[in-house]
Amino acid sequence: MTKPHLIYFADPMCSWCWGFSPVIDGIADEFGSSLPIRLILGGLRPGTTEPLTQNSKHDIRQHWEHVKEASGQAFDFGFFERQGFIYDSEPVSKAVVIARHRSMSDALDFLKRTHEAFYAQNRDVTDEQVLADLAADAGFDGDQFLQGLRSEEIRTETWQDFAIAQNAGVRGFPCLIAGTDEQPGYSLVTAGYQPAERVLPALRRFLQVTRAG
């Protein structure tokens, strides 16, 4: 018997991934353990060192407005009043990797927490202390979490995720693919945002085919 599963390439500082968050919740609610989701961090802007320019802010704001319109997700546009913000997605990606050590469901939950904190609450998820506070709210030990964020082991694992995404040819997020343990290759579910009413029927068909096979 085949064991179907999904691989979800996402980034905690990707606005379209925040828009896709309810779809991921819908997949988990409908399919549960029959279609487990493996999260791989995509690496949107890791290692960025230069602050956002006004032109960059303008472009990002347009993305946020499009995501809000398409998905209905909440956004705090007060973010664009920040001065000197460095859009480095590495710290928060490392935080999600730490959560993944506890379980994949914890990683998906923490991804959602960081999305909400950044987009809906205007919290700085590039700040280690903010990440440790979010982790404490999720039941982690805040001090141990900080140690993990500063460890070379976690950094290496995080960059391995980025490499997997790049080697798989993933150039944008969210990206969701489906496969089985016994059959080689994966089927693309979506490259980019799609609403639940398009994604869930496709997954139902995928499960029907794998079960019939």
CA distance 157 to 186: 23
HSE-CB of 8 using CA atoms within 13 angstroms: 24
180 has which bridge partners? 4
Closest CA to 173 of 6, 4, 13: 13
Q: What's the rounded Cα separation, in Å, for the pair 203 and 41?
A: 22
Instruction: Provide the domain count of the chain.
Output: 1
Q: What pairs with residue 188 in β-bridges? A: 177
Enclosing domain of residue 73: 4-212
- What amino acid is encoded at 67 in this protein? V
DSSP 159: H
pLDDT digits (tens, 9 = 90+) for 94-114: 999 999 999 999 999 999 999
- The CATH number that applies at residue 107 is 3.40.30.10
Unique residue bearing structure tokens 């988990």:
28
Over the stretch 186-201, which tens digit does the pLDDT of each residue have? 999 999 999 999 999 9
Tens digit of each residue's pLDDT (9 = 90 or more) over 144-182: 999 999 999 999 999 999 999 999 999 899 999 999 987
State yes or no: pLDDT of 88 exceeds 60.
yes
Give yes or no for a contact between 12 and 118, defined as CB atoms under 8 angstroms apart: yes
The Cα–Cα gap between 185 and 206 comes to 14
Q: What is the pTM of this model?
A: 0.95
